[in-house]
């Protein structure tokens, strides 16, 4: 008898992704691919790399590395009725090439468009919220509202043509003031990308890439988006695959290009309206948070367009989360408060009976305490939540919280 999760997995594959030249088999088959198809895929990779002068990027890839495989991770917040389709590219024959291109795009985005809504660290994000609420402490009559939007299908909904167009736009602006040649160390976690060539000896693990070749690499990523799932070979033709090293930055480029266009067209109009204490917007990956004065939202057409669920071009769609939760905190804009979501379920915490040192078992407590102290607003509410955190941990069996 077939297991229910397998039926759901096949149904999800049919509904979420569009596949070409493949069908989902009626019965479960071993997760393997015909050997001839495997060799053909790798040969196409090598031929493309030689044609685009990126063969050195793939030289370290062993001949026997597999092609990607696909699986599904169901969504808890959707009551397991929907899932994320993921294609695993790690340790595959194109993994290193895509990793290098992703690092190059990240550096180019950081250099060329540093003022987009998502280019901020989380601590600075909450600091901006605090400053906004402080500026409105003497304006109790002002009605601030919080809009919490989520981008539906961050990876699968953005058309490939739009991704290519946004990357071309980014490369064109990057090339105006920067060298097209980038040196990349894919194994470095600190400053892995350097612009231009070096007169000194280059490390053996540094890869040289031309910014003008990145579009070809992205197109190759789309064309070679083949993977195994449920015993068959599929190719994704809509969006960019989750699990691909280059997919997060590709989706981000498409979203940032829209934000930059709006800022250049209407940003000055909003700035001239002196709305610094009436409008705040930030994006965390695919979650967008807006705090805005209700009167400004309804009377300023540029702000209305910015806050619209149709801000991004179709078929990309924003949906209202219909809650005040953002990054583990609750934002009550009208009361000028940020509170920490303190969950009562014991399974969310490392208990005193857990293995490890006492310091390790209390690490979650100290982490939560630091987040409350630095993020919750106003300070009086932070003190209340710190006391609630202490009470919760004592109820869990922690008698010494030092």
Say if residue 67 is in the same domain as residue 210.
yes
Listed range (48-62, 94-108, 240-254, 379-393) with the worst mean pLDDT: 48-62
Sequence-ordered list of residues with C-beta below 8 angstroms from that of 280, at least 6 positions apart, any chain? 128, 129, 132, 289, 290, 291, 292
Q: What is the pLDDT of residue 95?
A: 76
Question: 226, 245, 264: which is the final residue of a domain?
Answer: 245
Asked if residue 402 is part of any domain, the answer here is no
Residues 144 and 293 reside in one and the same domain: yes
Structure tokens at 66: 């597999």
From 317, 321, 324, 327, select the one nearest 151 (Cα to Cα).
Answer: 317
84-151-287 Cα angle (round to 5) = 100
In a domain, 117, yes or no: no
Answer for the pair 87, 70: CB distance below 8 angstroms, yes or no: yes
Rounded Cα distance, 229 and 32, in Å: 8
pLDDT in tens, 196-212: 766 554 555 678 889 99
Query: Do 187 and 91 belong to one domain?
Result: yes
Please indicate whether residue 35 or residue 175 has the higher confidence score (pLDDT). Answer: 175
Q: Is the pLDDT of residue 324 over 80?
A: yes
> β-pairing, 181-184 with 207-210?
antiparallel
Residue 128 and residue 43 share a domain? no
CA-to-CA distance for 232 and 28, rounded, in angstroms? 10
Whether residues 74 and 209 fall in one domain = yes
On the question of pLDDT at 2 being above 60, the answer is no
Other C-beta atoms lying within 10 Å of the C-beta of residue 47: 11
- The predicted model scores a pTM of 0.79
| Within a domain: 203 | yes
Asked whether 242 and 86 are in contact (CB, 8 A), the reply is yes
Higher pLDDT, 86 or 232: 86
Edge-to-edge, what's the strand order for the sheet holding 144-151? 279-284, 287-293, 144-151, 318-320
Residues 128, 184 share a domain? no
Long-range contacts of 53-61 (CB under 8 A, 24+ apart): 53/210, 53/213, 54/97, 54/209, 54/213, 54/217, 56/207, 56/208, 57/96, 57/97, 57/100, 57/207, 57/209, 58/93, 58/94, 58/96, 58/97, 60/96, 61/93, 61/94, 61/95, 61/96
Residue 326: pLDDT band with limits 50, 70, 90:
very high
User: Are residues 167 and 273 both part of a single domain?
Assistant: no
β-strand 337-340 against 329-332: which pairing, if any?
antiparallel
Q: Which of 393, 396, 369, 397 is nearest to 383 (CA)?
A: 369
Residue 258 lies in a domain: yes
What confidence tens digit (pLDDT) does each residue in 71-124 have?
Answer: 777 777 777 776 677 777 767 667 788 889 999 999 999 999 999 999 999 999
Query: Which of residues 198 and 358 earns the better pLDDT score?
Result: 358
Residue 401 in domain: no
If asked whether residues 93 and 230 sit together in one domain, one would say: yes
Domain of 14 in residue numbering reads as: 4-112+154-245
Residue 219 shares a structural domain with residue 265? no
Q: What is the pLDDT of residue 381?
A: 96
Mean pLDDT for the stretch of residues 303-318: 89
Count of the separate structural domains present in the chain: 2
Helix, strand and coil percent figures for the chain, each rounded to 5: 45, 15, 40
């Amino acid at each position: 008898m077939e297991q229910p999760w397998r039926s759901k997995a096949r149904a999800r594959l049919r509904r979420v992704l569009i596949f070409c030249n493949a069908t989902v088999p009626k019965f479960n088959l071993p997760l393997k691919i015909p050997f001839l198809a495997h060799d053909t895929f790798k040969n196409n990779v090598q031929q493309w790399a030689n044609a685009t002068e990126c063969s050195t990027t793939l030289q370290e890839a062993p001949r026997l590395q597999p092609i990607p495989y696909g699986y599904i991770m169901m969504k808890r917040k959707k009551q397991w009725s929907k899932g994320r389709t993921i294609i695993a590219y790690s340790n595959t024959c194109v993994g290193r090439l895509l990793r290098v291109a992703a690092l190059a795009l990240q550096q180019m985005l950081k250099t060329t468009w540093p003022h987009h809504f998502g280019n901020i660290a989380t601590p600075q994000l909450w600091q901006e919220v605090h400053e906004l609420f402080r500026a409105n402490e003497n304006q109790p009559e002002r009605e601030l509202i919080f809009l919490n939007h989520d981008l539906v299908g961050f990876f699968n909904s953005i058309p490939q043509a739009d991704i290519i167009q946004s990357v071309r736009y980014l490369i064109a602006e990057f090339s105006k003031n920067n060298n097209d040649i980038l040196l990349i160390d894919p194994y470095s976690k600190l400053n892995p990308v350097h612009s231009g060539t070096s007169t000194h000896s280059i490390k053996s693990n540094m890869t040289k890439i031309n910014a003008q070749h990145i579009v070809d690499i992205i197109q190759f990523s789309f064309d070679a988006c083949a993977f195994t799932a449920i015993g068959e070979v599929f190719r994704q033709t809509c969006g960019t695959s989750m699990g691909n090293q280059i997919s997060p930055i590709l989706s981000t480029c498409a979203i940032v290009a829209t934000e930059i266009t709006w800022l250049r067209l209407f940003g000055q109009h909003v700035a001239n309206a002196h709305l610094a204490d009436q409008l705040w917007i930030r994006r965390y990956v695919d979650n967008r948070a807006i705090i805005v004065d209700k009167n400004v939202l309804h009377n300023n057409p540029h702000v209305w367009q910015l806050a619209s669920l149709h801000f991004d071009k179709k078929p990309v769609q924003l949906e209202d989360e219909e809650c005040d939760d953002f990054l583990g905190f609750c934002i009550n804009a009208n009361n000028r408060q940020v509170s920490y979501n303190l969950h009562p379920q014991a399974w969310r915490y490392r208990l005193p009976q857990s293995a490890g040192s006492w310091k390790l078992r209390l690490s979650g407590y100290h982490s939560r305490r630091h987040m409350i102290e630095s993020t919750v607003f106003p300070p009086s509410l932070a003190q209340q939540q710190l006391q609630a955190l202490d009470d919760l941990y004592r109820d869990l069996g922690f008698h010494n919280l030092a």
